[in-house]
Amino acid sequence: MKLKHNQKLIIGNWKLNPLTLKEAVRLASKIDPQPLHETVICPPTLFLSSVKYPRLGAQDCFWLNKGAYTGQTSPLALKKLGVKYCLVGHSENRTAGESEEMIQKKVSALLSVKITPVLCVGFGTTVEEDDLEVTDIIKSQLTSALAGIDASKIVVAYEPVWAISSGDPYHHKMATPDHAEKIAMFIKTKFGVKKVLYGGSANSTNALEFLEQPDIDGLLPGGASLLPKDFNQIINMSC
């Protein structure tokens, strides 16, 4: 049996990949179902009911469960599919117009059906800013999203927007494990959040340096979660 010490949370965000159900089922079948860390995969919503993995997450949802809302995804329907986590406020959705108010409503709706929201923050920061400026932006995003919410029940993912899909978080001096650790500590102490993940070009080469930080409770890899060899290394990495 694998040891459970220092268990982290690793959530693979497949984004809009792959293109077919067959490929999605195949990809999921290659991910170790009994890894060292708590592992969640988030396939596109369309494939959620067919992909088999012990812990499934959704990439987004609506804030109401039922009714005349064309094209939306019901949090309650996700719950009935066995979904355990749902991303909210991803920078790719904030870019497409998702507002702070919408994010707050989604977080609240998810908690009411007992799905853990994974609130993504870090949109709008730039690489030129220092830690203080970054914390100001994050503080404002968390203050809006957590209005009336018990922060101890959610997971926050710090995803510096410039590090996403860059292929190398160290390319910019700010996106280092040290910087992410400072931001994670700030989020926990200021807001009472219990779990903070790092996301932004996390891969099997750099994962350990992030996972070794005491206040970083896991990772939210995008690209690397589509590569079974890389992802299996991350989810079985002792730290």
> Which residues of the chain form contacts with ligand 13P (CB under 6 A)?
13, 90, 159, 164-165, 199-202, 220-224
- Find, among 81, 144, 89, the residue nearest to 122 by Cα: 89
Least distance to ligand 13P, CB of residue 157, Å: 7
Shortest-Cβ-distance residue relative to ligand 13P: 222
- Report the residue number, 63 or 85, with the smaller CB distance to ligand 13P: 85
Q: Name the catalytic one among 159, 179, 181, 209.
A: 159
Provide the minimum distance between the beta carbon of 172 and ligand 13P in the complex, in angstroms, as a whole number. Answer: 13
| Shortest CB 220 distance to ligand 13P, Å | 5
Q: What three-state secondary structure class fits 120? A: strand
Closer residue to ligand 13P (CB): 218 or 222: 222
Residue 188, CA distances (Å) to 43, 140, 150, 236 in order: 28, 15, 13, 26
Is 60 or 181 the residue whose CB approaches ligand 13P more closely?
Answer: 60
- Cα 31 to Cα 63: distance, rounded to the nearest angstrom: 30
Closest to ligand 13P by CB, 109 vs 220, is: 220
The length of the chain, given as a count of residues: 239
Closest separation between CB of residue 166 and ligand 13P, Å?
A: 7
Catalytic residue among 90, 98, 179, 181: 90
Q: Supply the DSSP string of 31-68, one letter for each residue.
A: S-SS-SSEEEEE--GGGTTT---SSEEES---S-SSSS
Residue 37 among the catalytic residues: no
Measured CA to CA, the distance from residue 207 to residue 234 in angstroms comes to 6
Is 133 one of the annotated active-site residues of the chain? no
Task: Please check whether residue 69 is in contact with residue 41, taking contact to mean a CB–CB distance below 8 angstroms.
Answer: no
The catalytic site residues sit at 90, 159
